Amino acid sequence: LKLGDGFLWGCATSAHQVEGNNVASDWWEWEQTRPDLCAEPSGDACDHYHLYGQDMAILRALGFNCYRFSVEWARIEPEKGLVSRAALDHYKRMLDEAHRLGLVTILTLHHFTSPRWATRAGGFTDIGVKDAFKRYLELVARELGGMSEYFTPINEPNIVALAGYRMGTFPPGKATKEDRRAATAAFCELHGFARDAIKASNPAARVGLSLSMTDYQPMPGAEDRVARIREIMEDVYLASARGDDFIGVQCYTRDRVPPSGVLPPDPERPLTEMGYETYPEALGACIRRAHAATGLPVLVTENGIAPVGDDDEVRIAFVRRALAEVARAIQEGLPVWGYVYWSLLDNFEWNLGYRPRFGLVAVDRSSQRRVIKRSAVELGAIALRNELPDEIG
Ligand code: BGC
């Protein structure tokens, strides 16, 4: 399937996962103080803070035309009210460099991490933190709003609300239903605020909510249960995306949901290093659902796999099958604007540390040398041809 010229072929990273030494952030502190929940500290990560030029050049040379990355609130405002001009300038240089290379950018303003001071004050359920975040959004929209074509302001708010406010595995480590509900409401409000702030600065910017979606498959009798799960995980956010320019779909697997309990992954299918079932077909269902719920064009802002043992052949097969889903959706008439693979680099996978490897490019973290995997070349070539495989067994 030959695609239109504007189709976005990208890879994504996020600041904390690749930059290194993000010492003013809540996650840095979490890694130091919660070894029970964190496999290892992020440390230097991929030193992308310094090596971004080289990494973007690799991305471009592989054949991609788009880079999704995030700016770090904890660097821009390391203490409440203290704005680092130098950090803002750093991100301006990144955006300039991306464009100089011919890459379109998708900019995220919050990807899981907050400054320590914000999390100590209670996180997003605290009214003062919400107000501080609004001021940060206004600042970043003013300074950087005109410098990126696309924005996904808050990355996967549903995952932060779940892990940070209901399960207690992400900062701020809260774990009640009320906290999750309050965080969910806060994120929905803040998403709209961010969209308005960006549009005020750059009416031409395209803004979309980036949502972690799962292909929830109800077993007989579990329709109501799935509806309840979807309500708090997806539907409330899909509703707050009305008024956006696109919906950012981020999808990794499916969940088969029986009326009670949790069904383990299908033993017929291999697990990923994350423990998920390898199920690339989930992407098609999530694209359809996101579009049906919002009426918006879809941009796949994350999709990818960390195969067991980093078996790159498994990654190649996964991506080709996921792309076949994109092709099918487009053939059905759905507007799909692009496909962004997670991730450009092997990086810091939150609680699990560096073990799961999602990257198209490996990183030897003792030398910071980059090693290009075959999957990078394969996907880059597809991007360059601008053609989607329509059926792969
Ligand atoms: C997140 C990334 C994460 C990836 C793989 C997404 O939920 O946005 O930060 O690394 O999934 O687990």
How do residues 34-48 score in pLDDT, each as one tens digit? 999 999 999 999 999
In angstroms, the CA 65 to CA 59 distance is 8
Residue 50: other Cβ atoms inside 10 A: 13
Give the pLDDT of residue 388. 85
The answer to whether residues 121 and 81 touch, using CB atoms and an 8 Å cutoff, is no
Give the pLDDT of residue 5. 87
The atom number, within ligand 1, closest to the CA of 347 reads 10
Give the pLDDT of residue 393. 41
The atom number, within ligand 1, closest to the CA of 349 reads 10
In angstroms, the CA 273 to CA 271 distance is 7
**Ranges of residues in the chain whose predicted pLDDT is under 70:** 390-393
Give the pLDDT of residue 261. 78
Mean pLDDT of the chain: 97
183 to each of 130, 187, 248, 268, how far by Cα in Å?
A: 10, 6, 20, 37
Q: What are phi and psi of 295, to 5 degrees?
A: 75, 5
Residue 160: other Cβ atoms inside 10 A: 26
Element (H, E) at 140: helix 127-144
The answer to whether residues 306 and 272 touch, using CB atoms and an 8 Å cutoff, is yes
Nearest CA to ligand 1 atom 12: 349
Cα of 92 to ligand 1 centre, how many Å?
A: 24
pLDDT digits (tens, 9 = 90+) for 381-391: 999 999 987 65
The atom number, within ligand 1, closest to the CA of 212 reads 7
Nearest CA to ligand 1 atom 7: 212
Which residues does a 6 A CB cutoff place in the pocket of ligand 1? 14, 17, 155-156, 159, 212, 250, 302, 342, 349, 358
Residue 83: other Cβ atoms inside 10 A: 15
The answer to whether residues 166 and 206 touch, using CB atoms and an 8 Å cutoff, is no
pLDDT digits (tens, 9 = 90+) for 193-239: 999 999 999 999 999 999 999 999 999 999 999 999 999 999 999 99
In angstroms, the CA 90 to CA 75 distance is 10
The atom number, within ligand 1, closest to the CA of 14 reads 9
Ligand 1 binding pocket mutation candidate from 273, 286, 350, 360 (most atoms within 8 A of CB): 350
Cα of 211 to ligand 1 centre, how many Å?
A: 11
Cα of 272 to ligand 1 centre, how many Å?
A: 14
Give the pLDDT of residue 392. 52
Give the pLDDT of residue 391. 59
Buried b / exposed e across 348-374, counting CB within 10 Å, b at 16+? bbbeeebebbbbbbbbebeebebeebe
pTM of the predicted protein model: 0.98
In angstroms, the CA 174 to CA 169 distance is 8
